[in-house]
Amino acid sequence: MIEPIGKTTCLFRPASGFGAQEQVAYTESKGYRAVVGTVFPLDHWISNSPTLEYLARWLCVSGGIVILHDGEIRGRTTAEVLDRLIPKLKAAGYEFGRLEDEMRVARGTARNSIGQ
């Protein structure tokens, strides 16, 4: 996937956030890194954006990864949720960063930018 900033991203999220060892090994052999989330506000079942925003704020943890879905209908709801959620999380002391940068942190090569 080419990011809007012109960089290639090689991240893979297993369906439902669960991946068998074989699946993860295969994707890594193709140059992808498996990533799972920690905050699931249930947007695949719930379409009410204020409810999704509330659930995401309630479930957020330092260093967490929020999973919201994209697409023609869900994408609009996700955009609405993020437009309200991000400023509130920033006001609560959370910072945001790119997953690729955070993966370098895990390997000890960059500074952490997610957390309170």
- Do residues 56 and 38 touch, judged by C-beta distance below 8 A? no
Specify whether 11 is located in the same domain as 32. yes
- pTM comes to 0.69
Specify whether 73 is located in the same domain as 49. yes
Residue 2 is predicted with a pLDDT of 45
Specify whether 106 is located in the same domain as 93. yes
Name the domain count of the chain: 2
Q: For the segment 19-38, what is each residue's pLDDT rounded down to a tens digit?
A: 788 988 898 899 888 888 88
Residue 110 is predicted with a pLDDT of 40
Specify whether 45 is located in the same domain as 10. no
Q: What is the largest CA-CA distance in the chain?
A: 41
Residue 23 is predicted with a pLDDT of 87
C-alpha 48/C-alpha 82 separation (Å) is 13
Query: Domain range spanning residue 15?
Result: 1-36
Specify whether 105 is located in the same domain as 82. yes
- Tens digit of each residue's pLDDT, the chain (116 residues): 445 556 677 888 888 777 788 988 898 899 888 888 889 899 989 999 999 999 999 999 988 889 898 888 888 999 999 999 999 999 999 998 887 776 665 555 444 333 33
C-alpha 28/C-alpha 66 separation (Å) is 22
